[in-house]
Amino acid sequence: MTESLFFFFASLTLLCAIMVVISKNPVFSVIFLILTFFTISAHYILLNAQFLAAVNIIVYAGAIMVLFLFVLMFINTGKNVEGTLKRNVLVKIAGTVAGGLLFTVVVAALKDVTLGNPDPATYDSQVGMVENLGKVLFTKYMLPFQLVAVLFLVSMVGAVMIGKRETGEQNF
């Protein structure tokens, strides 16, 4: 049951991810990306990590992708953006080089990978539950957790500074 569900969601994830890349309309790309997040959340639920699944939906599907849509709706007025990039050799070369480098990195990473082999006898299936996750975050990983919070604060201040309109004539 779990295995067939996994293969179902995995193929769905791949399909949606491919559709993100090959969709002509950027708005459709965003919608497929949202669907991809949903299927990834389904994987989290299969792994018994409900908190991650919910947070993935809230943060990525619920907030970040809305901002993506925002930007797209403002800049894209239904015109085909692709036409401006077509037949530009430099773009094709850059794309090929970047894709090849990514492929190399993925192959290199997968070559040395060893699957963690948890012992079924001692493995705690509740490890992904909210309580356990919270305990680990606030005891074992306290410092990184706090540092991430500081990082977020810094980026927030930065965003406010960029968005703020300064007084004076030449600064607006």
Partner 1 sequence: MDSVLLIYKGIYILAIFGISLLIATYSTYFERKIAAFIQDRVGPNRAGPMGLLQPLADAGKLFFKEEFIPAKANKMLFILGPGIAMLVAAMSSAVIPFGDTLIIGETSFDLIAIDVNIGILYIFGVVSLGVYGLMIGGWASNNKFSLLGAIRAASQNISYELAMGLSLIAVLMLSGSLSLKVIAEQQTGFNWNIWYQPLGFLIFLICAFAETNRTPFDLPESEAELIGGYHTEYSSMKLGMYLFAEYINIFVVSAVMSTLYFGAYNFPFMENLRNAFDDPVLGNNVVTIIGVAVMFAKIFAFIFFFMWVRWTLPRFRYDQLMKLGWNILIPLAILNILLTGGGILLYEYFTNG
The residue ranges that bind partner 1 (CB under 8 A) are: 25, 27, 31, 34, 50-51, 53-55, 57-58, 61-63, 66, 69-70, 73-74, 78, 129-130
Could you give the CA distance from residue 12 to residue 14 in angstroms, rounded to a whole number?
5
Which C-beta is closer to partner 1: that of 91 or that of 130? Answer: 130
Which C-beta is closer to partner 1: that of 15 or that of 54? Answer: 54
Which C-beta is closer to partner 1: that of 109 or that of 150? Answer: 150
Minimum CB–partner distance for residue 73 and partner 1 (Å): 5
Which tokens in the block code for residue 172?
């607006």
Minimum CB–partner distance for residue 146 and partner 1 (Å): 16
Which C-beta is closer to partner 1: that of 22 or that of 115? Answer: 22
Which tokens in the block code for residue 146?
């706090």
b/e burial code for range 113-128 (CB count within 10 A of at least 16 → b)? eeeeeeeeeeeeeeeb
Minimum CB–partner distance for residue 153 and partner 1 (Å): 13
**Rg of the chain on CA atoms, in Å:** 21
b/e burial code for range 78-111 (CB count within 10 A of at least 16 → b)? eeeeeeeeeeeeeeeeeeeeeeeeeeeeeeeeee
Minimum CB–partner distance for residue 47 and partner 1 (Å): 14
